[in-house]
Every structure is written in C-alpha cells, then in structure tokens.
Chain A
C-alpha cells in the first residue's frame, strides 16, 4: 500500500521522526507532501524545533528545503516564516514563543519554499496541530527535529513514520540493527487496560511509584530517575509488581536498580511511552538478557519505515539490498525507499 493511503482518512496527526540527522527525514517529508498534493489533500506542516534549513548547522551538508503547495497550512516561528519564498496568508499568532519569535499559523497562497520551526513543547505542538485542523488541514504532518523523537509521542501524534538511512553509519548492518532496535522500542507492549487510567494519573502528576501484588501504591520520593536507581531498587520488595517511572530513563538507572534489588526481575517497569527511553541497542539487549521487562502506558502507532540509501557524506548502500534486508527484518511494517519510490510508483 502506498504511504499516503496508510494515512489518509485514518489519521489526522502524523509524525515523521528520523533515526539521525540526514537519515532522509526531509526527503520522506517532501515525498509525503508531494503525494498528498497530487491527491488534492490539504495538509498542515509544523515541526518540533527548527528544521527544513537549507544548510544543516551541525554538519553543513545541504538539506532539501520544504516546498509547499497552495492551500497548505504551516505553523512556524515568525522569523523563519518571514524568510519563506512561498506567499503566505497570516492566520494566527499563537501563544507559543520560541527563540525565533512566536509560532505563526499561515496558509500558503502561492507555492514556494518554507522553513519550518515549530513549537518547543509537546503540549503546544498538539494545540497547534489541532488549530491547523480547524483551519482546514486534513492531515497534519509533524516534522520531528534532529535528535528529537518526542513528536512520535502518542500524546501528540496518532501515527508515526520512522526515517532511517545510510547517514547513520557506513556499515549497513549497523544501520539495520539500530533501526530494528528503534522499531522494537516503538512496538513495546502496553499495560493492561484496567490499570491504564490509574497510571495516567501517576504520569500526569510526574510521580514515581511501586505497586505491590495487592495493588497498594508506594510513592518513591524522587524527582527524576537520573542517579536515583539505588533509591528505586531499595524499594523493590518480593511483593512488588509494577515500578512506574515518570520522565525519561537511561541505562544507569537500571544498572543501579539491578545492583541493589534482589527482586528486580519480578517486576514490570512502566514508562509513559517509548520516546522516554534513552538506550542504545546494545544496552537494550543487555537489559533484555538480564531479565528486565519494560512496558509503556501509551503505545506508538508505527506506520512505516522510510529509508535513504544515500549518505550526504558521499557513500551509499546497495539500495535494493538495503531495502530487502530491512523488509526481511521488519515483516510487520511497511518499508519504503523514498529515493527509489518515484520510479517504483510510476
């Protein structure tokens, strides 16, 4: 099935997140924009932080700018918006402030190139996406900025597209391993539905609790998991069942828990969603081997993985081999080569 058909009429807010910079996220984004335009679908585009720059400030490699068609709704910080070559009708100045000015919502009156730098917090991002729908966007695409996968958070977007590519590593099998790991994280199982509401409150309050087999909640008095692994570990008892961790988690947290908690294997660790997990694939494997079980409150709906076999560093993978290997490892998910796709879809 074509990528646009996976989205259209099914999801209103879709995020595109990249495995790394230059992973082909902007190519994937432009591809989506073009396909929706051909279908006559009005889309909205915004991003987390700054993106769509002509020159990536980090690597100085050229990145494709976003070309937007007439009627597209965009939301971007004032300063970047005013640089657009597209002619825009200003619709609204939102309350989201960024270092580049307030985020402004505009409608494209004459097509052209734009730079998109959207709101910086998840809550604002969601509000802006909702406003864009009110202004007539049938699908809103959220462009997740470099190293910021939070746009995929299910509290913001209903579905996610993961962009991967040769830029990640010179070694193709490394890229495949990292991508499969990311997909595995995004496919983490959710919690039992009967405890969902109660857990949601815990995360809303940004609390850390341990629930025992009688359902009794035991508050852990910490504000972050960073450097608090020992404190958490010491509270894990034989009767403990769930350890609910607000905020982000890193490998050291688990290392410390394992060091002090005899019963660390007998509990299920629950995080808000997969975007809160900051682990490498190696660390992930180690934790799995040690018997750590992680579940999420909000599951991410991963629609497709797009790949770019070309690296801006001047090397490339065998496109066919790259595509077929990833497809083989990810049989459940659509895998699309955005560079070859035009010929393929002709």
Chain B
C-alpha cells in the first residue's frame, strides 16, 4: 500500500476529528522541525516494527523531559537558535563560491549543532539512533583559523600568509597616505592662510575676492566646484600620493583575488562533507519533532499506545481532547469512555445527545495519533494497526456538488466498501439516516451484514431498531439518561439554564454492552419531554410507539 497521507486518512476526516489542529500545533522550535512535521507520514500495518521503535523513542523523550527538566531545557535552548540555512547548504552542494554571510551561517550552525551534539552525548538516554549527529569539529576549525571560538565570521588574516601580507602592506600605505595628506593640508595652510577640511576641501564665499585670488594662485590646490555664491577648492594630490593611491588600488584588487581564492578553497573542502550536514539537518528536525510530540503528550496527559498486528482496538478512559477543552471552558467535564472493538461490526445505539459522534471521533483520533507515532489521550490503548481510517459523520458538506446527504454518504461508502478487506477502521455515524426509514434500515442492515465478515474494524451508530438482531454484531449502548434525576432536569430547564449544559450534567456518556435486546431504553421521547415539548404531543406519541 502506498504510504500516502490521503490514503490513510482523507483531509476532510483529518480536519473533522481534530488531527490537523493537533499536528499543526505541535510546538516545534526550528524550521527543520517544522519541515519534519509537514512531512509526517503515518505508519501502516507493514511498518509495525518501525512504529514500535518510534513510540519507544518518544517514550524515552517523555521520561527524560519529566526527570531531567534542566537538561531538557538546555537542549531546547540549543535547538531554538538553529536557523534554516538550507539555501547555503544547497549552494555549497553546487560548489558555488559562498560569501561572508553564508560562511557565517555555516560556521554558526556548525557550532550550534556541535553544542547540541555535546548536550545529547551527555544525555545518553535520549541520544537515540535517529538523532545521531555527525561532529563538525573539523569544519569549525576550518572556519575559525584564529581559534576565536565565537560564532562570528570574518575573512581572517590567518586564512593565508598572502592575505595577511597584503593587508599589512595595505595598512602601511594607508597610514602613509594620511600622513602625506595631512602634510599637504598644512602646506596649503602655510601658503594661503586657510586650512582645508579633513576631506581636503576649502569652501569660500564668492565675495571674498582677495582670498580667492590667493587660492587660485596656489599650485597645491585646484578649483573643484563652483556654486552660485561660493567656490570649493580641493587639495591636489602630489606625485608620491598618486603613486601610493595607485599602489593601494592594486593591493585592494590583490586582496579581493586572494579572498576569492580562499573562499574557493573553503567551498571545496566543505562541499566534500555536504551529505553529512544534510544528515545533521534531518536529525535536528527529527529531534525537534519528537520533543514537540513529547510536549504535546505531557500537556494532554497522553499515554503510549501499545501496538499489535491483530484487528482490534481497546481504549480505556479515552478522551477527545478538543471536546474536552471546549467543555472545560464551559465548566463541564468530559466523561472518559472505555471501548473495546474487534474485527467486524460494532453497533452503538442510545440517546440523542449521548455523545455517539464524539465517541467515533475519539476512536478515530486515537488510532490516527498512534499511527502517526504519537501518544494518545487515554489511560491505556491497545491498537491493532490499520491501513486506513474512514469516518462518515453525515453532517459535512458533500464533496460532490448536487449530491444530497444520502447521495454523498453512498458515494463515499462505495469506495470504502470496496477496500473493506484491506484492514481499516470504518466509522459510520447514523447510517442511512438521510432517506426513508424502511429502505434506510434495509440498506443499513445489508451493509452491516456485508462488513461484519471483513478484515476491518467497523463502528456504526444508528437509531434503527431493526439492526439489533443481526447476528455476530457487538452491540453497545450509551447509558444515557437511564439513571438521571428527570424531575431535577425538568426543573433546571424551567430555570432557563442552557439545554446543552443540562444534558451534559445529567447524561451518562459511558457505553455498556447490550446482552438483552428487549431492555434497550429509548430516550427520544424523554428528551423531548425534558426540553418541554407540549404534553399532549408527548402523551399521544407515547401511546403510538
């Protein structure tokens, strides 16, 4: 099977169960980590071995983060400063001559990764195979010939004897030039009585005729520009000075040539190991991503799922985190759910507003998280790997224009039915609810009968009575309002409290297995009554049911 995100889980489902949000919010610290996050691919059945290792590695990181907070913070600090320099690495790979800023990027990244490497080597418990970094000691030495130990970069004199010689001569000439210039200024002052500025200029108002005459007759200066009412004279360079400036210009050219030569040598030497740097970048990204996963796991009190090859799912006290957070912000609590699913079909029935849809989302999210090598929000979870996750909640907009709810449901089901033997997790909320109950129930029944012998785990929720009796189907029921204080609920409604808050308070969201079909409680009328539908209708309906 092709390892494609969309084959495992389609983007609509990813969004609907909250997986997208979780992945996007993984708090990576570096661009490399962000790239690793974007490229995350789910592990499917045949990757079980790799997934187990990845989860074990994540477990090591979580343990380390809990036990060695200070060292973990040091590692995060070291990661935090690592910038994305793939552009420079790419140019290096193509053996382009890099500039000083690019050498700076390389040098500082080598030093930063070296620091990270030292920290990891001192933290053996998390220095795992996938995070192994190559040492860049030699490269650092190459880019730091004066052993400054700082991340900064300069075309150091120590790069070559020639460079240092050229620069020495340059400095000497520069010094001589300024001495001569100073001398020339003094000479002009002696002759004209006016001191040229440091830049060698004399500015004079046109009205000062006698001074101008004096300046004009002085052979050490020349008229350089004329304004409306002012003249500017400039000190002339003498022969010595001209020769020196000429020499200086030559030296500047030589220096540039030498610097180019050095840059070329550096590129040649560094480009030999470019694959090593690329591997380091991948390892940094992996480490960053695993740390981000560990932060998320700790934040939502997630546990390591245990992975199996059989076709089953067992979740103890599972939670759907975004629903849990939404409830918490309203002052309510999420009821963790136990659920155990085997190969074949499980039917869930029960009260309206009994959390059936959220439970489907919870199961699919937990399975998907596990297969993306993340911890899961539950007290424990045993998961048999699947090759795809399919969720139909029925309330989404149809992908295909012009299809009704029913049409869209069938359109999607068609495809999933065709691959139901390839081991998937198939979740269908309120199957066939969009059509007439007689045919709807018949279709639902046929689908259940078809799927119950396939190599997938299927959950179907429904209000149809006729599905209870299909053999070989596990039947779960939301406990719902069976133990609730109905009188109290009604009085809460009269107090004008919000319906959803009231139901959240009294609803028992837990699932229990139904053994005796005759005892299946029906809550629809009760819910209608609590919500205050007129008594006449309620009584009438009660007689007819």
Say if the beta carbon of A332 comes within 8 Å of chain B: no
Determine the distance from Cα of A91 to Cα of B171 in the docked complex, in whole angstroms: 24
Pairwise interchain contact A316-B228, C-beta atoms closer than 8 A: yes
On whether the beta carbons of B205 and A90 are closer than 8 Å, the reply is no
* 28 A-B pairs with C-beta separation under 8 A: A34-B198, A82-B101, A87-B155, A88-B154, A89-B154, A90-B100, A90-B101, A90-B153, A90-B154, A93-B105, A104-B101, A309-B230, A310-B203, A310-B230, A314-B227, A314-B228, A315-B227, A315-B228, A316-B229, A317-B229, A318-B205, A318-B229, A319-B203, A320-B205, A342-B197, A342-B198, A343-B195, A343-B197
Q: Is A110 an interface residue (CB 8 A)?
A: yes
- Chain B residues near A110: list those with CB within 8 A: 167, 171
* B435 located at the interface, meaning its Cβ lies under 8 Å from any Cβ of chain A in the complex: no
- CB proximity of A90 to chain B, nearest CB, Å: 4
Write the residues of chain B forming the contact surface with A, with a CB cutoff of 8 angstroms.
83, 99-101, 103-105, 152-155, 167, 171, 195, 197-198, 203, 205, 227-230, 252
Q: Tell me the nearest residue of chain A to B171, going by C-beta.
A: A110
Q: Which residues of A contact B101 (CB under 8 A)?
A: 78, 81-82, 90, 93, 104
CA distance A88 to B205 in the complex (A): 40
Select the residue from B99, B103, B104 with max chain A CB neighbours within 10 A: B104
Chain B hits for A89, CB < 8 A: 152-154
The list of the 7 closest CB pairs from A to B, nearest first, reads A90-B104, A89-B154, A316-B227, A315-B228, A342-B197, A90-B153, A316-B230
* Docked complex Cα distance between A315 and B105 (Å): 48
B100 closest partner in A (C-beta)? A90
Partner of B100, one of A88, A317, A343, A346: A88
In the bound complex, what is the Cα–Cα distance between A339 and B197 (angstroms)?
A: 9
Distance (whole angstroms) from the CB of B172 to the closest CB of chain A: 13
What is the total number of residues of chain A having a CB less than 8 Å from a CB of chain B?
Answer: 30
Q: Is A5 an interface residue (CB 8 A)?
A: no
Minimum CB–CB distance from B41 to chain A (whole Å) comes to 30
B-chain residues with CB within 8 Å of residue A340 when the two chains form the complex: 203
Which residues of the partner chain B approach A315 to less than 8 Å between Cβ atoms? 227-229
Check A82–B100 contact: CB distance below 8 A.
Answer: yes
* Closest CB in chain B relative to A63 CB, distance in Å: 14
In the assembled complex, the CB of A91 is this many whole angstroms from the nearest CB of chain B, namely 5
Nearest A residue to B225, CB-CB: A314
Contact yes or no, B228 A91, CB < 8 A: no
Contacts known (A314-B228, A316-B227); A82 close to B99, Cβ less than 8 A: yes
Residues of chain B lying within 8 A (CB to CB) of residue A314: 227-228
Cβ of B527 to closest chain A Cβ, rounded Å = 43
Contact status of A346 and B205, CB under 8 A, knowing A90-B153, A314-B228, A316-B228? no
Chain A, Cβ-Cβ closest to B107: A90
Q: Which residues of A contact B203 (CB under 8 A)?
A: 310, 319, 339-340
A322 to B26, CA, bound (A): 64
Q: Is A109 an interface residue (CB 8 A)?
A: yes
Residues of A within 8 A of B252 (CB): 85
How far apart are A182's CB and chain B's nearest CB, in angstroms?
Answer: 24
Cβ–Cβ < 8 Å partners of B103 in chain A: 90
Closest residue on chain A to residue B226 by CB atoms: A314
Give the distance in Å from the alpha carbon of A318 to the alpha carbon of B228 in the complex.
10
The residue of chain B having its C-beta at the shortest distance from the C-beta of A346 within the complex is B195
Q: Which residues of chain A from 38 to 85 have any CB-CB distance to chain B below 8 Å in the complex? A: 78, 81-82, 85
Per-residue 0/1 for A101-132: is the Cβ within 8 Å of any B Cβ (1 yes, 0 no)?
Answer: 00010010110000000000000000000000
**A88, B153: Cα distance in complex, Å:** 9
Give the distance in Å from the alpha carbon of A315 to the alpha carbon of B171 in the complex: 39
Which residue on chain A has the smallest CB distance to residue B167? A110
A-B contact count (CB 8 A): 59
Q: Which residues of A contact B153 (CB under 8 A)?
A: 89-90
In the bound complex, what is the Cα–Cα distance between A340 and B203 (angstroms)? 8
The interface residues of chain A lying within 8 Å CB-to-CB of B99 are 82
Q: Are B104 and A93 in contact (CB under 8 A)?
A: yes
A82 and B256 CA atoms in complex are apart in Å by 12
Q: How far is the CB of A30 from chain B (nearest CB, A)?
A: 9
**Apart from the given pairs A87-B154, A93-B83, A315-B227, 18 other A-B contacts in the complex at a CB distance below 8 Å:** A34-B198, A81-B101, A82-B99, A82-B100, A88-B154, A89-B152, A89-B154, A90-B101, A90-B104, A91-B152, A93-B101, A93-B104, A93-B105, A110-B167, A311-B227, A314-B228, A316-B228, A339-B203
A-chain residues with CB within 8 Å of residue B105 when the two chains form the complex: 93
Q: Which residues of A contact B195 (CB under 8 A)?
A: 343, 346
User: Which residues on A sit within 8 Å (CB–CB) of B198?
Assistant: 34, 342
User: CA separation between A314 and B101, bound complex, in Å?
Assistant: 40
Of chain A, the residue at the smallest CB distance from B83 is A93
Q: Which of A78, A82, A88, A315 has the most CB of B within 10 A?
A: A88
**CA of A104 to CA of B105, assembled, Å:** 11
B153 to A, closest residue via Cβ = A90
**Which residues of A are found within 8 Å of B167, using beta-carbon distances?**
110
Residue of A89, A90, A310 with most partner-chain B CB within 10 A: A90
The residue on A at minimum CB distance from B154 is: A89
Using an 8 Å CB-CB cutoff, how does the interface string of A13-48 with B read, 1 for contact, 0 for none?
000000000000000000000100000000000000
A89 and B195 CA atoms in complex are apart in Å by 36
Closest chain B CB from A86 CB (angstroms): 12
Provide the bound-state CA to CA distance between A239 and B491, in Å. 50
Contact bitstring A307-346, B, C-beta under 8 A = 1, else 0: 0011100111111100000000000000000011011001
| Smallest CB separation, A319 vs chain B (Å) | 7
Asked whether, in the complex, the Cβ of B205 is within 8 Å of the Cβ of A319, the reply is: yes
Chain B residues, CB < 8 A from A109: 154
**Residues of chain B with a CB closer than 8 A to A85's CB:** 252
Residue of B152, B171, B227 touching A90 (CB-CB under 8 A): B152
| Cα(A311)–Cα(B229), bound, Å | 11
Residues of B close to A107: CB separation below 8 A: 152
Query: B154 → chain A, closest Cβ, in Å?
Result: 4
| B155 neighbours in A (Cβ, 8 Å) | 87
A89 to B100, CA, bound (A): 8
User: How many angstroms between the C-alpha atoms of A318 and B203 in the bound complex?
Assistant: 12
- A311 surroundings in chain B (CB, below 8 A): 227
Chain B minimum-CB-distance residue to A67 = B199
Residues of A within 8 A of B171 (CB): 110
CA distance A311 to B228 in the complex (A): 10
CA distance A6 to B48 in the complex (A): 72
**Shortest Cβ gap from A173 to chain B (Å):** 16
CB distance from B91 to the nearest CB of A (A): 14
List B contacts of A91 (CB < 8 A): 152
A343 to B105, CA, bound (A): 46
The minimal Cβ–Cβ distance linking B171 to chain A, given in whole angstroms, is 8
Interface core residue of A34, A93, A315 (most chain B CB under 10 Å): A93
- How far in angstroms is the closest Cβ of chain A from B141? 18
Closest Cβ–Cβ distance, residue A246 to chain B (whole Å): 32
Contacts of B227 in A (CB 8 A): 310-311, 314-316
Q: How far is the CB of A179 from chain B (nearest CB, A)?
A: 20
> B231's closest neighbor in chain A, by CB?
A316
Chain B contacts for A310, CB-based, 8 A: 203, 227, 230
CB distance from B254 to the nearest CB of A (A): 14
**Most chain B CB within a 10 A radius of its CB, from A89, A104, A309, A340:** A89
Q: Which residues of B contact A82 (CB under 8 A)?
A: 99-101
Which residues of the other chain, B, contact A342 by a CB distance below 8 angstroms? 197-198
CA distance A34 to B197 in the complex (A): 12
Instruction: State in angstroms the CA–CA spacing of A165 and B230 once bound together.
Output: 15
A109 to B153, CA, bound (A): 11
> How far, in whole Å, are A85 and B229 apart by their CA atoms in the complex?
35
CA–CA, A312 and B225, complex, Å: 11
Taking the closest CB of chain B, its distance from the CB of A203, in whole angstroms, is: 31
B186 smallest CB distance to A (angstroms): 13
